[in-house]
Amino acid sequence: MLHALVAEFMGTALMIIFGVGVHCSTVLKGTKYRGSGHIFAITTWGFGISIALFIFGNVCINPAMVLAQCLLGNLPWTSFIPYSLADLFGGVIGSVIVWVMYADHFKASEGEISPITIRNLFCTSPAVRHLPRNFFVEFFDTFIFISGILAISTVKTPGVVPIGVGLLVWAIGMGLGGPTGFAMNLARDMGPRIAHAILPIANKADSDWQYGIVVPGIAPFIGAACAAWFMHGFFGIN
């Protein structure tokens, strides 16, 4: 259990280092890749998740996936809270590491980049705030995400799962990520959101807990549960 929890923590932290890192790289003043845009960022998220899976192997790095695995009987229910907390804490620490790495650029960006934009480097926010629709988007994105991972995982060729999951993230980000930023993962959103709240960032905006709890907090769990039931009932996948 301890080895699995450490792998969950480190895998999530690495995913966030790549993901929050690329947002800082494309937005903050004085970075080498400022202005590279969303294709640059989404590709890095996909590749970063692939690398985390190559290094740490059969990890969830997502409490929604932990729930799906518990529902399918692949993990005991006693693992749900410890795994989810390890993922969440990994999201916090990964974000803190990125903030340390980009500290000079955060300082240089003070007064030039809005507090809302700074918050959005860490966590997701909707393009148009409409909580019921935002909730549906995150639910559906996660349903596709977890269903896709479960399908990809049936392929036993070495290396296919990390690459396939990275491509899946890339496709969801490009096709479905526009409305909400495709969190699909409480640890991906809430971990960095907590880091944003506790870090000494100048003139920062509030952390928008209402959105964080309702949309990327709750919707992924419902999407994952529906995906697990669908993939098991329709395809017989465990």
- The answer to whether residues 220 and 142 touch, using CB atoms and an 8 Å cutoff, is yes
Widest distance between CA atoms in the chain: 55
pLDDT of residue 238: 86
What are 148-164's pLDDT values in tens digits?
999 999 999 999 999 99
What are 112-124's pLDDT values in tens digits?
999 999 999 999 9
User: CA separation (Å) from 197 to 19, 104, 185?
Assistant: 18, 19, 18
Q: With bands split at pLDDT 50, 70 and 90, how would you rate the model's confidence at 7?
A: very high
Tell me, yes or no, if the pTM score tops 0.85.
Answer: yes
Cα(59)–Cα(166) distance, rounded to whole angstroms? Answer: 14
Alpha carbon dihedral 139, 205, 41, 5, in 10-degree steps, equals -60
- The answer to whether residues 53 and 165 touch, using CB atoms and an 8 Å cutoff, is yes
205: Cβ contacts below 8 Å, ≥ 6 apart: 114, 115, 116, 118, 119
pLDDT of residue 30: 95
Using alpha carbons, select from 9, 92, 84, 12 the residue that is nearest to residue 49.
Answer: 12
Mean of the per-residue pLDDT values of the chain: 97
1-235, what's its fold? Glycerol uptake facilitator protein (1.20.1080)
Q: So where are the chain's domains?
A: 1-235
What are 163-221's pLDDT values in tens digits?
999 999 999 999 999 999 999 999 999 999 999 999 999 989 999 999 999 999 999 99
pLDDT of residue 54: 97
Residue 98: HSE in the Cβ half-sphere, 13 Å Cα cutoff? 27
The tokens describing 90, both together, are 């990994």
- The answer to whether residues 106 and 99 touch, using CB atoms and an 8 Å cutoff, is yes
Rounded to a whole number of angstroms, the distance between the first and last alpha carbons of the chain is 21
For range 139-152, the mean pLDDT: 98
- The answer to whether residues 109 and 118 touch, using CB atoms and an 8 Å cutoff, is yes
Cα(217)–Cα(134) distance, rounded to whole angstroms? Answer: 12
